[in-house]
Structure 1
């Protein structure tokens, strides 16, 4: 969506010529000299990815695009087309990752646009203090995801339904079995939460910052396991090998499945920029 200020302000295509252009902003980075922005072509092949100075030591990574391609109507249509939306998201992400591999970088959300370069420069320069703070927080770091799964509590042979013709005392025995089954599930759930807390504490002790996310619901292929931790961590790049060893050790200690993913650009830790 095209922006005129730091808050969204969608441009009406009727207000501009059909061939009007806008400035698409991928990220703000802090290079030590002229930035090298060679690499992915971005969201359009019609213009190169370039640089726009937006404050002391800061450069915005930008690209000129057709304004008509990013009106509310155009973006809603694109959002309803899964493959097309994924293409734009991947193009955006590829540019951000390329820049972040070279310089401290603050990624901006998908489809951040301004009506022209001067408005982009003015708006982003006003936010330079927040960009510098985010860069100080994330420079030299990467984002890693950690997901932890525990096997579901095994069923016992005596957990089946009550018999149709119960013998004397069978009803009480059935209720006792159901109570025992419930207690086993509760203990298993408590064990899962304990494992999640252990993993989060150990990985969090190595990380600079962390965020816990809602666990994902089980898929049909994962019916025999439950996700008990879904978290993301900001970790210094020179501690990546230490993190991998820690994840393997936690899996061995707890018997849980510990999935480590990354390194990623630290989207989750740049704050509201």
Structure 2
């Protein structure tokens, strides 16, 4: 849906584009005071669409959003974070007032007419998403289990040519004991993996039973070298607002029952569920 502004160096320096943050129903007027948006040069405003929809938009300088300018911004982490935060603040302000379909960061059109045409084509999807997410929030659930134990150390090898005084004869059966330890650790890791899968499936099944919709995402790798936890579930759930307390109680119960560490985050604007109908 994103239409990038012209990147030609011949484009007028004073050209402008329409930046779109979100779409809501026309009968739910969005708040336009408060967040500044991605620029301070123009205010947020409502753009009436067909099919009883309204978009929250802002006029921005086209030169700030050419492909070259955006690629440069992507390489500047603080600057990119500033834009992402400004975009998110507008979306959150609208979502706090009414059901909202957030649009991706840097969704732009050359002018209002093109914005209306493109957004009107998505009207059916927008209405379905608004019905689906009304009075719901997105919650993240991450489940961790203890990581695998440290690998077994091989028995010391006697250096070739070492003098008899420094040679250490291995204890009887040391090689067999080492192989047994390796096999036991491998078996333990396999059992831990199976247990992790069972715990993840059990948590997901119970939380999905409370949620209106769910999505399982790829687990993250270890972030801290000394953190020996293994993430076995990384999922997000669409939960009715009046069931938030129930969700918190359920995750505590599941943590006690499974012995796993469960992290609950939210509530969030339901970004993960507005593209599914």
Tell me the TM-score normalised to structure 2 length.
Answer: 0.90
Q: Deviations over 1:26-58 (max 9, x none)?
A: 010115254332210100011111100112221
Distance 2:52 2:42 in 1: 25
Partner of 1:161: 154
User: Post-superposition shift, 1:224?
Assistant: 2.1
Distance 1:55 1:180 in 2: 66
How many residue pairs get aligned? The number is 266
In structure 2, list runs of 5 or more residues that go unmatched.
158-168
CA contact (8 A) 1:140 1:236 kept: yes
CA distance 1:33–1:204, change in 2 (3 Å): closer
Distance 2:243 2:198 in 1: 25
Q: Which moved more, 1:262-271 or 1:130-139?
A: 130-139
Distance 1:31 1:252 in 2: 46
Distance 1:272 1:33 in 2: 22
Tell me, yes or no, if structure 1 residue 196 matches structure 2 residue 216. Answer: no
Distance 2:99 2:147 in 1: 42
Distance 2:149 2:75 in 1: 42
Tell me the TM-score normalised to structure 1 length.
Answer: 0.91
Partner of 2:89: 94
Q: Deviations over 1:9-41 (max 9, x none)?
A: 541344532111110000101152543322101
Q: Deviations over 1:205-227 (max 9, x none)?
A: 11111111111111225522111
1:209 aligned to 194, 201, 213, which one?
Answer: 213
Pairwise CA RMSD: 1.9
CA contact (8 A) 1:13 1:68 kept: no
Distance 1:113 1:155 in 2: 51
CA contact (8 A) 1:51 1:61 kept: yes
1:139 aligned to 134, 146, 154, which one?
Answer: 134
Partner of 1:151: 146
Distance 1:167 1:33 in 2: 79
1:54 aligned to 49, 52, 60, which one?
Answer: 49
Partner of 2:266: 262
| Match runs of 1:36-51 below 5 Å | 36-51=31-46
SS of the equivalent of 2:33 reads coil
CA contact (8 A) 2:26 2:48 kept: no
In structure 1, list runs of 5 or more residues that go unmatched.
1-5
Distance 2:30 2:227 in 1: 49
Partner of 2:114: 119
In our comparison, the structure showing a higher alpha carbon Rg is 2
